[in-house]
Amino acid sequence: MPDYESIERKWQVRWSDRKLNESERDERPKFMIIFAYPGVTGYLHVGHMRGYTYADAIGRYKRMTGYNVLFPVGTHATGNGAISLAARIAAGDKDIMDYMVRNGCPPEKLEGELRDPLNVVWFFNGVYQEEYWKRFGFLADWRRFTCTLYPDYSKFMQWQFRKLNEAGLLIQKPYFAPACLSCGPVAVDPSETDLSKGGNAETQEFTLLKFRSGDEILVAATLRPETVYGQVCFWVNPEVEYLKVRNGGETWIVSPQAYEKLSHQKDGLESIGAVKGSDLLGRTCIAPMIHREIPVLPAAFCDPDVGTGMVTSVPSDAPDDWMSLTKLKEDHSYMERYGIAKETIDAVVPISIISMKGYGDFPAQDIVERMGIEEADDPRLEEAKKQVYKDGYHLGVMKDICGEFAGMRVEEAKERMKQAMIDSGEADVFFDLSEEVVCRCGCKVVIKRIDDQWFIDYGNEDLTQRTSDHCRTMTINPVEYYNNVHAVLKWFRERACVRLGNWLGTKFPFDERWIIEAISDSTLYPVYYLISMYANDGRIEPEQMTEAFFDYAILGKGDAEKVSGECGIDTSLLNEIRAEVLYWYPLDMNLGGKEHMTVHFPAFLKNHVAILPPEMWPKGITVNWYITGKKSKISKSKGGAQPIPGAAKKFGADGMRLYYAHIASPFADVEWDEDNVMSYSQRIDRIASFIGDLSSYRGSATEMDAWLVSRMNTHVSTIRSAMERYDLRQMATVAYFEIFNDLKWYQRRGGENPETISECLRTWITAMMPVTPHMAEEMWEAAGFDGLVSEAQLPEAGERSVPAEYGEDLIREVMSDAQQIIKVTGIEPKRMVLYTAPSWKIGILGKALELQEKGELSIPSLTKACMSDPDIKVHGKAASDMARKTAEDMMRLPAGSMRPMFESDERAHLAAAAGFLSKEMGLEAEVYSSDEEGRYDPGDKARMAVPGRPAIYLE
């Protein structure tokens, strides 16, 4: 295995010595690119390098096409990831210890510094920069590195929130959020940063329905308030001890668990007694909305942990209710135990309330029968319920029985009916999680009301409109996102932007109890890369970074002298920072994974539009999809991940870079496959060794030189137009496959002119530099060029020579045709005779081209033109057939594409290549024109020759 690492280090040091990564303002056009900085959540895996690599490769391409490039990097450490990681390290968690060590963490750090959350962040800041980004040869401006937990970054963040407030975009209102009672707010998401259980839970909004029964109110929770017209009875669990709860002037009856949950969402609840479920039986209650008296009946399936522990029964549309009711009617023994008369239960009959396509009067009955469910405890009832809910929601229409809501679609009726009942005091709302969620600390997670939650008002219409308009002017890849981003912007509404609890981040400037949350502090930060350098090297201190300072530096507001006096930063330095901002901003490209499409990118865009002037709004976004693993093999949370440094050692950083750039479109997920990576790695080696061979050629010029030069010009212009669209993949196809193949062909055809080769290598190696910079440097050196290819410029594309390219295409086609004949016939020919088209056929082609130019080409017009030419006419039917076929072909193909066939001297070209063909195919090749008298033509093949397709005879 080659020692990639030391080769890579060698060149990285050279780049660094030349300060290639340090971007300074100058006269060139600028290009600023970033990737969305990663969250500090532990070690990254090989998949993460995909997007980062795109950023470096695009930056390098821009460098070699005349741009002054700035590529800054940073990390996002806001949140509780580092806190929980440090806590697990401190607790000596076996899995975490193994994971850290396996990824290369020195064990002694686990015993000491990494027990502290901030040290965890600093540690990974080092890992990301040294082991990932530098290791991959990124030309990032390390001087500007920043992290959301740096004190200077916090100053910037507080300034940003002041600006948001000035723009009227900070609002306060109540909010229902998942929270752990001891740790505070937690994030419920599948990555389970905060959780030990329940990451897939959703927050559901229940409607609490109030059933008056005497002086008390039985409360049921439902997700389907639109079904109230179908209520026929009320279930309570006779074995549960319910609580009587005072809520204002009302007395509610709910399960103790529901009381606990409600108490986090409502003020002034008071438990004033208990009542056994069985004691509620025999009562009746008044159903909300329909004001009908329904019986309270016993049901063992009422779970006190779900909703309020009591259920209103709508058998028509709820499969559970349908089955339970059916069973209870069949077997009266359960009811009898509680003294419920058979007539009471028999009187409970479903009411049809919703009509929906594909279902009869009672959807619940239909689905239960369709699925063959026969028992009340069948687990498939859950699925049945989901199906009916889903279909009901989208297909259902309220029936006539539903009063003023009759005829309304369920989708609409649901909201309206809920609101009507809330307005009349018959309902309330309640939030709950769809499954049990447990915090890392072991406590249960509940939904808690927060009264004074701050939001950023991303729903602001003017802001949304201006952002949307701006997006049309941006370069957004892929085009699907360019089209869709407007819908996303519209959908993106108020966002809770601060939180309480165990959380690392910047204090909210208007109320320091709150910490700015993780999405909200990572939106405007690209502009901060233009300032971070001065804080990093101590030229400015965090205390000096006042509102006036940022106002001046970023917005150009105020007077330098005055601002200087206010914040204590030299006027000249202030002006330098201002000049940095003016020179580098706006950001040209923000590159991020597809997870950013619905949250980060809209927030990034809207913050820029809200705070900065239009000339500083971003110009580009590129979204990249993932590298995925078989059975989550590369996922960092599951263990078994391929550590990045190990992979780099095995395949070489450049092998991986080429793999990322070329394996698939950036806009598709790819499964990590070591064999693929290896094959890219080997391709680079192959190219390197081939370039070594080429460099030693000392021959003289041949007709192949013009061909090669033309091909290279074609390639350079393809590369340039591909990169206009940031299409790294097409660029890589050309640079690593097509150019390689062409040089192989050149070599095979006897090309050996050192001047041409050298000129060509200069272009080729430069073209490979963006994707595989280290190996490009090796090749550059091996080819004898001076300096660093990382500093070289890509030559402009020169002229193409269509005839030169056509001639070689012809030869390859002849070879391929001959091979096919050999394969099909199974003969081993000793002699190959080629016959080019006779002049009269070329004449027909010429006439066709003429007609086409005049726009008069058709089969009859060409035939007529041919028949008026005596030289052609003598060939009779063969001539009219040829004319017809030529006209057909030409009308089918793009105009002018057959011109080279007419203009090229096929006979001369093939004759010149006869020696080559003989050698390659191991036979004697000879070439005739079909016009030639006395040609050797025992198979009478010459008559088949047409322009572009010589006839072949093998013997």
Partner RNA sequence: GCGGGGGUAGCCAAGCCUGGCCAAAGGCGCAGGACUUAGGAUCCUGUCCUCAGCGGUUCGAGGGUUCAAAUCCCUUCCCCCGCACCA
Among 330, 675, 828, 933, binds RNA (CB under 7 A): 675
Among 631, 823, 854, 877, binds RNA (CB under 7 A): 823
| Residue 900 contacts RNA per CB under 7 A | yes
| Residue 187 contacts RNA per CB under 7 A | yes
Among 116, 250, 674, 703, binds RNA (CB under 7 A): 674
Site for RNA in 30-49 (CB under 7 A): 36-39
Is 343 or 675 the residue whose CB approaches RNA more closely?
A: 675
Q: Identify the DSSP state of 116.
A: S
How far is 928 from 44, CA to CA, in rounded Å? Answer: 65
DSSP lists the bridge partners of residue 216 as: 213
Among 71, 211, 492, 617, binds RNA (CB under 7 A): 492
Residues 145 and 534: beta-carbon distance below 8 Å: no
Stretch that binds RNA, among 45-53, 56-64, 84-92, 886-894 (CB under 7 A): 886-894
CB 206 → RNA: shortest distance, Å?
A: 15
| Residue 950 contacts RNA per CB under 7 A | yes
Write each residue from 679 to 718 as x if it is in contact with RNA (CB under 7 A), else as -, in one continuous string: x--x---x--------------------------------
Among 824, 828, 870, 940, binds RNA (CB under 7 A): 824
Write each residue from 857 to 876 as x if it is in contact with RNA (CB under 7 A), else as -, in one continuous string: --------------------
Q: Parallel, antiparallel, or unpaired for β 445-456 and 495-496?
A: antiparallel
| Residue 659 contacts RNA per CB under 7 A | no
Among 12, 84, 154, 193, binds RNA (CB under 7 A): 193
Rg of the Cα trace of the chain?
Answer: 38
Write each residue from 634 to 653 as x if it is in contact with RNA (CB under 7 A), else as -, in one continuous string: ----------------x---
Q: Parallel, antiparallel, or unpaired for β 310-313 and 233-236?
A: antiparallel
CB 234 → RNA: shortest distance, Å?
A: 30
| Residue 678 contacts RNA per CB under 7 A | yes
CB 510 → RNA: shortest distance, Å?
A: 18
Among 347, 874, 893, 908, binds RNA (CB under 7 A): 893
Stretch that binds RNA, among 42-50, 125-133, 181-189, 778-786 (CB under 7 A): 181-189
Residues 813 and 799: beta-carbon distance below 8 Å: no
How far is 388 from 398, CA to CA, in rounded Å? Answer: 15
Write each residue from 515 to 544 as x if it is in contact with RNA (CB under 7 A), else as -, in one continuous string: --xxx--x----------------------
Q: Identify the DSSP state of 191.
A: T
Write each residue from 392 to 421 as x if it is in contact with RNA (CB under 7 A), else as -, in one continuous string: -xx---------------------------
**CB-facing half-sphere around the CA of 151: CA atoms within 13 A:** 10
| Residue 952 contacts RNA per CB under 7 A | yes
Burial (Cβ within 10 Å: 0-12, 13-18, ≥19) of residue 501: middle
Stretch that binds RNA, among 118-126, 267-275, 695-703, 810-818 (CB under 7 A): 810-818
Among 9, 244, 594, 800, binds RNA (CB under 7 A): 594
Helix (H, G, I), strand (E, B) or coil at 80: coil
Among 270, 469, 595, 881, binds RNA (CB under 7 A): 595
The angle at the Cα of 63, spanning 59 to 65, to the nearest 5 degrees, equals: 120
**CB-facing half-sphere around the CA of 954: CA atoms within 13 A:** 21
Is 226 or 426 the residue whose CB approaches RNA more closely?
A: 226
Task: Give the H/E segment covering residue 69.
Answer: strand 68-70
| Residue 510 contacts RNA per CB under 7 A | no
Write each residue from 44 to 83 as x if it is in contact with RNA (CB under 7 A), else as -, in one continuous string: --------------------------------x-xx----
| Residue 941 contacts RNA per CB under 7 A | yes
Stretch that binds RNA, among 12-20, 247-255, 376-384, 592-600 (CB under 7 A): 592-600
Is 238 or 751 the residue whose CB approaches RNA more closely?
A: 751
Backbone angles phi, psi at 196, to 5 degrees: -110, -10
Number of C-beta neighbours around residue 443 at 10 A: 16
Residues 588 and 559: beta-carbon distance below 8 Å: no
Among 385, 414, 596, 657, binds RNA (CB under 7 A): 596
- Amino acid identity of residue 733, one-letter, is T
| Residue 807 contacts RNA per CB under 7 A | no
Site for RNA in 731-770 (CB under 7 A): 733, 737, 741, 744, 748
How far is 216 from 210, CA to CA, in rounded Å? Answer: 10
| Residue 175 contacts RNA per CB under 7 A | yes
Which residues fall within 8 angstroms of residue 497, CB to CB, at 6 or more apart?
161, 170, 454, 455, 456, 516, 517, 519, 520
CB 113 → RNA: shortest distance, Å?
A: 23
- Residue identified by tokens 């990572």 is 522
Among 13, 487, 701, 908, binds RNA (CB under 7 A): 487
Site for RNA in 464-483 (CB under 7 A): 479-480, 483
How far is 251 from 604, CA to CA, in rounded Å? Answer: 48
Using CA atoms in the order 206, 602, 598, 642, what is the torsion angle rounded to 10 degrees? -130
CB 857 → RNA: shortest distance, Å?
A: 11
Helix (H, G, I), strand (E, B) or coil at 578: helix
Q: 508-516 long-range contacts, Cβ below 8 Å, gap at least 24?
A: 508/161, 508/454, 509/158, 509/161, 509/162, 510/161, 510/165, 510/170, 510/454, 511/454, 514/454, 516/78, 516/157, 516/161
CB 331 → RNA: shortest distance, Å?
A: 37
| Residue 944 contacts RNA per CB under 7 A | yes
Handedness of CA 217, 222, 225, 227 (dihedral sign): negative
